[in-house]
Amino acid sequence: MFQKILVGYDGSKGGRAALERAAALAREGNAQLTAIWVRQPLPRHADLPGEPEGEEEAAHDYFAERKREVEEVAKRFGVPITCESKAGHAAKVIVNFAKEKGFDLIVVGHSDHSELWGRLLGDTADRISDHAHCSVLIVKA
């Protein structure tokens, strides 16, 4: 059974399904569970004064809302869930964080993008499954 589970959570329908599945797995296996939200890095140069600060505040508010949602799921499933927020490319950050912290399962939601979009660009779940050092569960909503 898995001992350390990392779930990518962004508030989407697929992310919510992944969070709930990860919480159920953590409860069944008495595993440690961490939810991670990855945001795009803030721009280095802004066109307007105050723009970086406004972006940082919006990101903080968004993460706070995701954290509240995670806490609701944790309470409903009766498992503690640690929350992390990182900046960067989602797939790369999740894969590297999982490896550095010794997670043995990554749970992510399947995107709602069209099949054509996925074939042209790939999606985060595909990239994570291609590059992760551990097992990956892709949950469809």
Domains with residue ranges and CATH for the chain = 4-139 (3.40.50.620)
The mean pLDDT of 12-36, rounded to a whole number, is 96
pLDDT at 49 over 60: no
Q: How confident is the model at residue 103 (pLDDT cuts 50, 70, 90)?
A: very high
Q: How confident is the model at residue 43 (pLDDT cuts 50, 70, 90)?
A: low
CB 32 within 8 A of CB 5: yes
pLDDT of residue 121: 44
Q: How confident is the model at residue 30 (pLDDT cuts 50, 70, 90)?
A: very high
**Alpha carbon distance, N-terminus to C-terminus of the chain:** 23
Closest CA to 102 of 2, 1, 4: 4
pLDDT at 51 over 60: no
Q: Which residues pair with 85 in a beta bridge?
A: 37
